[in-house]
Chains A and B, each alone.
Chain A
Amino acid sequence: DAGVIQSPRHEVTEMGQEVTLRCKPISGHNSLFWYRQTMMRGLELLIYFNNNVPIDDSGMPEDRFSAKMPNASFSTLKIQPSEPRDSAVYFCASSYSGISGYEQFFGPGTRLTVL
């Protein structure tokens, strides 16, 4: 398996523009997570899905952020409008959620810079 795939790897945009980050989880995994990593706040969970259904989005910073998972092999994280403080590395992770919990596997991340 190719692992978790994220695109783009780097994104530079101007304030106010819409940004869409994409993630393809590992085949067979039924849980997907979006994280944001910054120097100031470390790794923060934004949202996670189980079987394509959002379970907990309490980490989504505000209404400018939205995430979708239309099927088991694809998810998007959208920021509209983007702001400079959204600059961070955004990671997607997937796992198989069984009774023993979650072992997460991370993608390489998308480095977002908002000017």
Chain B
Amino acid sequence: KQEVTQIPAALSVPEGENLVLNCSFTDSAIYNLQWFRQDPGKGLTSLLLIQSSQREQTSGRLNASLDKSSGRSTLYIAASQPGDSATYLCAITGNQFYFGTGTSLTVIP
């Protein structure tokens, strides 16, 4: 069974700092990996989707990478802002669908 781990569970950084969120998975047989953000009491907003054949995807200040051989994905956020404060989840699509437990990010003004 696929296991998806996100470390750290919580992260607090000052505004303007660049940061990296990590997602690890145990089974490299995946179709794609998707990063979401979830604001308190809200649904999930899709940020980036990386296909299994891709190495990275970029959208604005966000860059996601995928290394299937090592079972890792990272979400890089440049020049963090207080509005980036949310929980970030990674999701794996393989034979089934698995979510990580998320990293709660707080960007301090």
Chain A residues within CB distance 8 Å of chain B: 33, 35, 42-45, 48, 56, 58, 91, 93, 100-109
Contact = CB atoms under 8 A, between A and B. Distances in A.
B21 to A, nearest CB: 16
Interface stretch (B12-20, B40-48, B67-75, B77-85): B40-48
Contact of A106 (B44, B93, B98): B44
Interface of B: 31-32, 34, 36, 42-46, 49, 51-52, 89, 91, 93, 96-102
A42 B97 CA distance: 13
Contacts of A44: 99
B46 A103 contact: yes
A33 B44 CA distance: 13
A27 B31 CA distance: 23
Given A33-B97, A103-B34, A109-B42, 5 more contacts: A56-B96, A100-B31, A104-B34, A106-B36, A107-B43
Given A43-B89, A100-B51, A105 B32 contact: no
A45 B46 contact: no
A48 B91 CA distance: 15
Given A48-B97, A103-B34, A42 B102 contact: yes
